[in-house]
Amino acid sequence: MRFYSQPHQYYCGIDLHTRTLSLCLLDAAGAIRLEATLPPDRDRLATTLAPYRNGLVIGCECLFAWYWLADWCAEQGIPFVLGHALYLRAVHGGKTKTDAVDAAKLARLLRGGTFAEAYVYPNAMRATRDLLRRRTYLVRQRATLIAHLQTTFLQYNLPAPQKKLAYAANRADLDLSVFPDPSTRSMLEADLAVAAALDAQVKRLEAELVRTAKVHDPQTFARLRSVPGIGPVLALIMLYEVQSIHRFEHEGQFLSYARLVGGVRESAGKSKGTGGRKIGNAHLKWAFGEAACLMLRESGKAKTWVARKERKVGKPRALGALACRIGRTVYHLWRKQASFDAAKFLAS
105 and 136 both lie in a single domain: no
pLDDT digits (tens, 9 = 90+) for 268-284: 778 877 777 778 999 99
Q: Please report whether residue 332 resides in a domain.
A: yes
Q: Please report whether residue 225 resides in a domain.
A: no
pLDDT digits (tens, 9 = 90+) for 150-164: 999 999 999 989 889
- How many Cβ atoms are within 10 Å of 152's Cβ, its own excluded? 17
- Residue 11 identity: Y
192 and 299 both lie in a single domain: no
Q: What is the mean pLDDT of the chain?
A: 92
Mean of pLDDT values over 247-260:
94
pLDDT confidence of residue 171: 92
pTM comes to: 0.87
66 and 136 both lie in a single domain: no
73 and 9 both lie in a single domain: yes
Q: What 3-state class would DSSP assign to 314?
A: coil
pLDDT over threshold 90, residue 244: yes
Cα separation of 224 and 210, whole Å? 13
pLDDT confidence of residue 320: 94
Per the CB < 8 A criterion, the answer to whether 306 and 229 are in contact is no
- H-run or E-run covering 308: helix 300-313
Q: Where is the domain boundary, 118, 153, 171?
A: 118
How far CA 50 is from CA of 108, 238, 274, in Å, comes to 21, 40, 47
Q: Please report whether residue 227 resides in a domain.
A: no
Lowest-pLDDT range of 6-20, 181-195, 303-317, 332-346: 332-346
- How many Cβ atoms are within 10 Å of 318's Cβ, its own excluded? 19
Q: What 3-state class would DSSP assign to 173?
A: coil
- How many Cβ atoms are within 10 Å of 169's Cβ, its own excluded? 8
pLDDT confidence of residue 213: 95
Confidence of residue 91 (pLDDT cuts 50, 70, 90): low
State the residue range of the domain holding 310: 232-264+272-345
7 and 113 both lie in a single domain: yes
Cα separation of 191 and 278, whole Å? 33
pLDDT over threshold 80, residue 94: no
| Position with higher pLDDT, 61 vs 93 | 61
pLDDT over threshold 90, residue 262: no
Q: Please report whether residue 325 resides in a domain.
A: yes
Cα separation of 34 and 323, whole Å? 49
> What is residue 40's DSSP assignment?
S
Q: Please report whether residue 114 resides in a domain.
A: yes
50 and 155 both lie in a single domain: no
Cα separation of 323 and 321, whole Å? 5
136 and 29 both lie in a single domain: no
206 and 260 both lie in a single domain: no
Cα separation of 169 and 180, whole Å? 24
Number of independent structural domains in the chain: 3
| Measured torsion, CA atoms of residues 45, 48, 50, 54, in degrees rounded to the nearest 10 | -90
Nearest to 189 by CA among 200, 170, 176: 176
Q: Please report whether residue 223 resides in a domain.
A: no
Per the CB < 8 A criterion, the answer to whether 263 and 279 are in contact is yes
- CA-based torsion, 233, 310, 252, 280: positive or negative: positive
pLDDT digits (tens, 9 = 90+) for 181-232: 999 999 999 999 999 999 999 999 999 999 999 999 999 999 999 999 999 9
* CATH for 53: 3.30.420.40
